[in-house]
Amino acid sequence: MRLPYEYGMRSNDADGDPVIVMSTNEAHDRAAADAWCRTRRAWQEEREITPDVTLMRRLPDGEWEEDPGWKSEITTWEAGCARIEAAPTDEARRDARSELDAWVEFKTTARETGQIRVKVRDYSAEAPWGVGLTNPVVRAIVISAYCVVCGCPRGMPRRIHQCDDGVHYWPDVWNNPCGHTDMYEAVIKEAEEFAPAGRITLFGEYDESSGEAG
Ligand SMILES: [Zn+2]
């Protein structure tokens, strides 16, 4: 899928003025620009220079804006580090650290594979309303790691508890930093199309007792 955005790296020049540079032959490649910004930021951190790098994007003939996914990752990372430092007890510090580790693992896997795994409620697999008992069907599916509208990384899924007519179930929800909302119906359709030919990406019925997909 070719995305409409062009990407560039904003940082400060020798006079401290912000400049945006972009690779003209990879202008639409968010992953390349993202890697470029990361490398630059790591380089600055190693030299104990205050990082001033930001991934920028713009629509054709549009204004440059901060890439919301990049911005959200930096904010999440810094907030996670601050929580570890501010933890009042060893236990709280361990919890904050494992929370940040889980997030880093999610981001790394998403970047490396281009995919994320989510558990969603599949209404189409359920009995129509008013027919029989409520029986929520939750499926684990694989979808793109990136928003289908703008190409920003999708948010990290978190499991929530829901109860419908006394039946408990645990689907995932996630907030995309770009603000585009994913509906369960749309991502199920996406998972079917996203599957390379012959590969099954809709897998596992939900096991109510363990809360895990089989
Ligand atoms: Zn988006």
Query: Residue 1 domain-assigned?
Result: no
For the chain, percent of residues with pLDDT exceeding 90: 65
Query: Burial code of 123-153, b = ≥16 C-beta within 10 A, e = fewer?
Result: eeeeeeeeeeeeebbbbbbbbbbbbbebbbb
Q: 62 with 92, same domain?
A: no
Q: 135 with 192, same domain?
A: yes
Query: pLDDT tens-digit profile of 155-170?
Result: 999 999 999 888 899 9
Query: pLDDT tens-digit profile of 60-117?
Result: 889 999 999 999 999 999 999 999 999 999 999 999 999 999 999 999 999 998 999 9
Q: 82 with 151, same domain?
A: no
Tally of domains in the chain = 3
What's the CA-to-centroid distance between 69 and ligand 1, angstroms? 9
Instruction: Please identify, among 87, 111, 135, the residue that sits at the C-terminal boundary of a domain.
Output: 111
What's the CA-to-centroid distance between 143 and ligand 1, angstroms? 14
Q: 106 with 119, same domain?
A: no
Least Cα distance to 120 among 188, 168, 208, 67 occurs for 188
- Global pTM? 0.83
Please compute the mean of the pLDDT values over residues 11-19 and round it to a whole number.
92
Q: 62 with 84, same domain?
A: no
Q: 166 with 143, same domain?
A: yes
What's the CA-to-centroid distance between 90 and ligand 1, angstroms? 38
Q: 105 with 125, same domain?
A: no
Query: Residue 146 domain-assigned?
Result: yes
At residue 100, the pLDDT reads 96
Query: Residue 130 domain-assigned?
Result: yes
What's the CA-to-centroid distance between 36 and ligand 1, angstroms? 21
Query: pLDDT tens-digit profile of 112-149?
Result: 989 999 999 998 888 776 777 778 889 899 999 999 99
What's the CA-to-centroid distance between 190 and ligand 1, angstroms? 15
Instruction: Please identify, among 55, 90, 111, the residue that sits at the C-terminal boundary of a domain.
Output: 111
What's the CA-to-centroid distance between 160 and ligand 1, angstroms? 22
Q: 95 with 49, same domain?
A: no
pLDDT above 70 for 200: no
What's the CA-to-centroid distance between 146 and ligand 1, angstroms? 8
Residue 103: domain span: 72-111
pLDDT above 50 for 7: yes
3-state secondary structure of 130: coil
Higher pLDDT, 147 or 205: 147
At residue 82, the pLDDT reads 96
